[in-house]
């Protein structure tokens, strides 16, 4: 099985796409997450190529795609509109199946909200909360502070961003490689060394700056002192701009298979990337307490929206699994996807 890649010019940008499978097979679109690229799907593509036409694009400014600023004030819509433009260019005008991993899950949710006629079924893998990342609480995603402090571009670790921009391939605590080993998968999970370096290449292809990752920021008088700016991925994931509760209003909502790991440290009701959780643990100083800055129940928020949709959805939790079920339990994940899409 051969995975091919090419730049596809669309009405919005030059999109880098990995493809596999027969052109006349049922299409399945694979959408990656933050600080990654479609290269993370190559092994899954090899597994599924006998049955599906697989299409795995890179976000703008990620992987091999053209660098263009992400307008965060549109939430995930810059990325979901890019995806729609790609589907149009590829002639995929009928409803398609989509798999979104992490922030990619938010992208496919947005596509379903805005263009339900183009979505057949959704696989949500370790999907982010429909109420963004940081700065919200409760099952209804209400804002913790009036300026959405605790979310946006200022929440990223500056040293990690610097090392990412420098192409650091080392093993220091804030390096991209260590971050992948400790958080993308459950700690202790080991990759084949060549595959690990390939995934690291995908991380290091992320465009670092105010325009793409992590985005700009504003200062805040509310703890932890930063609030969202207007450009870049982490701001697009701020609840100031991202509210996907409208998924529950779709009639009907597309069938959903939601797969997540029980040891996910990124998308969790106790996320180690939520500054409120880190403050509660004493990692970020000055935390004013749970009554003032409660943590974000990310998993419970997504479940609440899927419950409210009243449609056909199934939540599957993999034991001994972190943020990347398709990497950590590859065979089971591929079979679960096959069974759902059949």
Number of domains in the chain: 1
In this prediction, residue 71 carries a pLDDT of 98
In this prediction, residue 191 carries a pLDDT of 95
At 270, which CATH number? 3.40.50.1820
Considering the domain boundaries, does residue 123 fall inside one?
yes
Considering the domain boundaries, does residue 224 fall inside one?
no
In this prediction, residue 311 carries a pLDDT of 81
* pLDDT mean values, one per 10 residues, the chain (342 residues): 94 98 98 98 98 98 98 98 98 98 98 98 98 98 98 98 98 98 97 97 98 98 98 98 98 97 98 98 97 98 97 96 98 98 94
- Which of 25, 89, 93 is closest to 57 using CA atoms? 89
Evaluated on CA atoms 212, 58, 298, 287, the torsion sign reads negative
**Inter-CA distances, 196 with 118, 178, 186, Å:** 34, 11, 14
Considering the domain boundaries, does residue 308 fall inside one?
yes
CB-based burial, 133-158: b 16+ in 10 Å, e otherwise: bbbbbeeebebbbebbbbbbbbbbee
Looking at every residue in the chain, the average pLDDT score rounds to 98
Considering the domain boundaries, does residue 205 fall inside one?
no
Task: Give the separation between CA 327 and CA 330, rounded to whole angstroms.
Answer: 5
Considering the domain boundaries, does residue 23 fall inside one?
yes
In this prediction, residue 153 carries a pLDDT of 98
In this prediction, residue 284 carries a pLDDT of 96
DSSP 151-187: -SGGGS-HHHHHHHHHT--S-STTSHHHHIIIIIS-T
Considering the domain boundaries, does residue 200 fall inside one?
no
In this prediction, residue 22 carries a pLDDT of 97
Considering the domain boundaries, does residue 153 fall inside one?
no
Q: Are 232 and 214 in contact (CB under 8 A)?
A: yes
Q: Are 21 and 49 in contact (CB under 8 A)?
A: yes
pTM greater than 0.95: yes
In this prediction, residue 172 carries a pLDDT of 97
Considering the domain boundaries, does residue 152 fall inside one?
no
Task: Give the separation between CA 118 and CA 97, rounded to whole angstroms.
Answer: 9
Task: Give the separation between CA 52 and CA 44, rounded to whole angstroms.
Answer: 11
Task: Give the separation between CA 63 and CA 81, rounded to whole angstroms.
Answer: 18
Domain range enclosing 95: 4-144+241-341
Tokens of 112: 């379903």
């Amino acid at each position: 099985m051969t995975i091919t890649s090419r730049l596809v010019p669309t009405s919005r940008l030059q999109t880098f796409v990995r493809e596999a499978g027969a052109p006349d097979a049922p299409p399945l679109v694979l959408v990656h997450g933050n600080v990654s690229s479609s290269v993370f799907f190559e092994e899954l593509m090899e597994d599924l190529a006998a049955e599906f036409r697989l299409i795995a694009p890179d976000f703008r400014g990620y992987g091999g795609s053209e660098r263009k600023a992400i307008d965060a004030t549109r939430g995930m819509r810059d990325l979901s509109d890019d995806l729609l433009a790609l589907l149009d260019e590829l002639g995929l005008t009928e409803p398609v199946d989509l798999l979104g991993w992490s922030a990619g899950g938010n992208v496919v949710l947005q596509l379903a909200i805005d263009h339900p006629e183009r979505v057949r079924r959704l696989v949500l893998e370790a999907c982010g909360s429909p109420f963004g990342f940081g700065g919200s609480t409760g099952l209804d995603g209400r804002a913790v502070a009036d300026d959405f402090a605790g979310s946006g571009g200022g929440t990223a670790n500056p040293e990690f961003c610097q090392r990412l921009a420098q192409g650091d391939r080392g093993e220091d605590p804030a390096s991209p490689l260590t971050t992948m080993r400790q958080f993308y998968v459950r700690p202790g999970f080991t990759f084949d060394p060549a595959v690990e370096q390939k995934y690291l290449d995908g991380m290091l292809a992320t465009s670092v700056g105010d325009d793409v990752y992590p985005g700009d920021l504003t200062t805040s008088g509310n703890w932890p002192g930063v609030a969202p700016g207007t450009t870049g991925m982490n701001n697009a994931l701020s609840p100031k701009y991202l509210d996907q509760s409208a998924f529950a209003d779709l009639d009907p909502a597309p069938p959903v298979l939601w797969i997540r790991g029980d040891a996910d440290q990124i998308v969790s009701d106790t996320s180690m990337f939520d500054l409120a959780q880190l403050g509660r643990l004493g990692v970020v100083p000055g935390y004013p307490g749970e009554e003032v800055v409660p943590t974000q129940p990310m998993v419970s928020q997504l479940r609440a929206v899927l419950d409210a949709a009243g449609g056909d959805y199934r939540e599957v939790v993999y034991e001994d699994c972190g943020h990347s079920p398709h990497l950590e339990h590859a065979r089971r994940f591929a079979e679960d996807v096959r069974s759902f899409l059949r």
